[in-house]
Structure 1
């Protein structure tokens, strides 16, 4: 705990020590200690948050809140009928929302409406660092929006009056509108969000586009964003710019920027597989972007002959590792068609055969956004099962 607090100015190190602390809290995992452990975790997380507020650096608290909630659910889900466990987990969930709200209200919402302001505030040495952080922020906004949308939907379902105008619902509507507005302003005012440098940034894009897709008020912006994304990623690849790659670290991307990108064998080696182009294809179809879809399909046939176009789906074994991140899980399918109608048919068929998503504990027990949080935190693609009703 002391190491985590002392290293607040180094968020990654602070978070690493906090994760070690959280795991130690649950080291003794007997049934009689579960509630005590959850309360302890909530307490130390709140202490970290308090110190982060005092130091004016909420990053370690945000990261640790995500991990704490996922770890806590992995434990709490085994005791679904114990009211004391439910209450302890609910208190931790409340702390998570307090921390993430504070982060967005202080660090993101006030600055998204100003041109390039978020990019400048990142204070990074080059565009690569800015690009990586912008997509990270996009994913955080999308997750907050998914939580708010889920809570609003649950409130609507319980509303026997069908007026949908209670104080709670109006508050959730306003907060959700604030988040979706921040996403659109973030993209408009920070053009690097039109140019993913890493293929895995498709995770953040899918979370955001799926959120916007569920509200008609955001569709015009989403359409223009998709058009711009398709144009940028195809153009940068053809012109050997900073096109999306399978590289992961900042150092690898920096080396890539200074490498001769006209070398065909090199280009093929760092674009061996992709989930980004499948994600763009699916959302082109959902949003009716025919011109962009045609461009993407032609680009795929001409330029991606050596790229494995694929997507990932949860399997029956995913529950064991989804919230703990202890091991890889799920199933990746290849030969993804870069054609809108074919793509939707393809993923629907896969979702019918790989239907593990709807059996996940967080989904079946009323905490569905936890699954999306885990995708963002552990870097797994958003399950396309969400596009279809449970089958």
Structure 2
């Protein structure tokens, strides 16, 4: 005999309740479950965000919580990935503080927090997570020091704490983590000396802080180096062994001395050394294979080396270069390979370009305020000033 409709509905409800029991949050290891509860109690959605709408602790976090991924480890469910915040463009992130219970997620491999207003310090307990490989907490309001305990994350590969309000010095131990490949600590308030980074480091971005002291020895595996807008000083000798470098940005510091000729032998996409206190002549041993070179606003002197004409964008302005501009620069401009050539505010005496020679409109040449009358083809940015040539008395004693 067919079951009455009411009986069927009751049976369906019972089956659903049994299913919920099977996937209840008790399936997750109790330590991890408690850590998630503490984490949730310290964080909240900013207006317009709905990240925590799925965090119903009557259900299994491993199946229903946004941003939580679990693996079966030693026969138990453990949290291995924690991505807090949706990360969608235009969606506000989270606010609140990080709970020290993060350190109880013993098998966590990845921790990310979407851009938002998460404030307070980085829990020291994070240093207990020996399985952690990726930490990305950028564009929030973290403050205080980077815990020394993070140096104990022996499996850590990527660390991104950029665009926060972190202070204090960078723990020396960070540079000794053996598997660390990429470190981004830019746009904070970090100060003190820059530690040496060894091991497998390939990407190092400490830009826009207040680091002081000299450039330490760095790993030969380094490919990307950005230290712009700090207060680093001393010479650039530490760059010589770094033959894997593909990008160098050390602008707006206090570096002194010569630019090592070995740097010009590298195949770089960019070499940015502007606004330092570099001096002496520059002497590449052959045509450079660097797309953009910016050596402006230093005290470099001597004659312009023709080998720099193989760059595509070249800023040599506001230095003490003298003599005639090599014909190689004009040839490169005419061929449209050299797109930008800025030579203004030096002590150059001649640039052999005939008045009937028309430079390509795609290029840009600025050579005003030197010891000569610039060619009519010279067009300069407004910040170069209105004076066409240097006063004669400056050129006599240059």
- TM-score range with shorter-chain normalisation? 0.3 to 0.5
Give the TM-score taking structure 2 as reference length: 0.32
From the two aligned structures, give the one with the greater helix fraction.
1
Q: Which has the higher contact order (CA 8 A, sep 6+)?
A: 1
